[in-house]
Amino acid sequence: MKSIQLTGYGTPADVVKLVDVPGVGAPAPDEIIIDVEAAPVEPSDLYMIAGIYGNLPPLPHILGIQGVGRVSAAGSSVKHVKEGDRVLVPPFAPSWVERVKTNATWLRPLPQADVNQLAMLGINPATAYLILTQFVQLKPGDWIIQNAANSSVGRAVIAIAKAKNIRTVNVVRRAEVVSEIEALGGDIVLVDGPGLAERVSSATGNAKIVLGLDGVGDTATQNLLNAVTLYGTVVIWSGMSGQPFTASGPRLLFFDQTIRGFWIFNYFRTPDPIKVSAMYEELVPLVAAGELTFPVAGEYSFEQHLAAISVAEKYSGKAILCP
């Protein structure tokens, strides 16, 4: 079967290859086989190709960290899905391949919905859900603040928060995306920079913001800390600036604030099937209803994988690989 493999680290044209690999074979009693329909090119894939990702498996390695497909075979003891069901490819199972074998018991049949949007459900919406729910107990009407609001995780935060009646302050780095984020349902959208905390306070009527979500790092981290209230928490889920995050010791000390890191790869090291299933049961309807969507730059065959990677490197919409 065809797969797209990483053979080294460096320029995609030199290290990413379309190769044939052995088939997955018949499923064991507790396993299913998924025929992959769509798998996006994620920033994590680009980082892995460059050799700078947090998890670098032994090479050669089949790329892809999420996707969607149809169950083509199920073992004799499998009850949670059946042949023909559309299901997620389990996050971090290599998805740039024609077929995947898995024993993930949390998988459930997916409803009719845009296949490309379902393919992007596994990682970023789950990240958004977990950073919203794992660290601070939020109530309807509460405020949170996030930067990188126009990223995939940021877009998902807006949709999930809206469904939970949580209000969002959304920080972006370019004024030209403000109207786009407002159209997605962001309650307040501000451009990052000096005086952010004062502008947030003015826009929210001096609301107490207990949770900040940082996907940027550098000085943006301190800007969130300045906007978060006494005993507030800032969760760092990415560092898109490429610079170390900066934080003021006195602010942390005198406001008794907390900084936490979160990487969804660690969450899926030992997933709780009941909790994972419940999480996706909340997320899937948002995708099916069109309330949680991501821009798609185009669909590409496996033979066009280098073109897909090139498009993904522009960060202006997801490139979707379709076996």
| CATH 3.90.180.10 placement within the chain | 2-120+294-321
For 99, 199, 297, the CA distances from 284, given in Å and listed in that order, are 22, 35, 22
Q: 88 has which bridge partners? A: 68
For residue 60, cis peptide bond before it (omega within 30 degrees of 0): yes
Backbone angles phi, psi at 101, to 5 degrees: -110, 135
Three-class DSSP category at 167:
strand
Torsion of CA 122, 62, 105, 26, to 10 degrees: 140
Q: Is 53 in the active site?
A: yes
| CATH 3.40.50.720 placement within the chain | 126-264
- 150 neighbors 168 (Cβ within 8 angstroms): no
Number of residues assigned to the chain: 323
Burial group, residue 194, by CB count within 10 angstroms (0-12, 13-18, 19+): exposed
pLDDT confidence of residue 245: 87
Catalytic-role residue among 9, 53, 267, 315: 53
Fold classification of 126-264 (topology level): Rossmann fold (3.40.50)
Question: In angstroms, rounded to a whole number, what is the distance separating the alpha carbons of residues 303 and 146?
Answer: 38
pTM higher than 0.85: yes
CATH architecture for the domain at 2-120+294-321? Alpha-Beta Complex (3.90)
- 297 neighbors 319 (Cβ within 8 angstroms): yes
Q: Is residue 315 left, alpha or beta, with left meaning phi > 0 and alpha meaning psi from -120 to 50?
A: left
| pLDDT tens digit at each of 323 positions of the chain | 999 999 999 999 999 999 999 999 999 999 999 999 999 999 999 999 999 999 999 999 999 999 999 999 999 999 999 999 999 999 999 999 999 999 999 999 999 999 999 999 999 999 999 999 999 999 999 999 999 999 999 999 999 999 999 999 999 999 999 999 999 999 999 999 999 999 999 999 999 999 999 999 999 999 999 999 999 999 999 999 888 888 888 888 999 999 999 999 999 999 999 999 999 999 999 999 999 999 999 999 999 999 999 999 999 999 999 99
Question: In angstroms, rounded to a whole number, what is the distance separating the alpha carbons of residues 256 and 316?
Answer: 38
Question: In angstroms, rounded to a whole number, what is the distance separating the alpha carbons of residues 19 and 21?
Answer: 6
Q: How many CB atoms lie within 10 A of CB 161?
A: 23
- 300 neighbors 307 (Cβ within 8 angstroms): yes
- 103 neighbors 81 (Cβ within 8 angstroms): no
pLDDT confidence of residue 20: 97
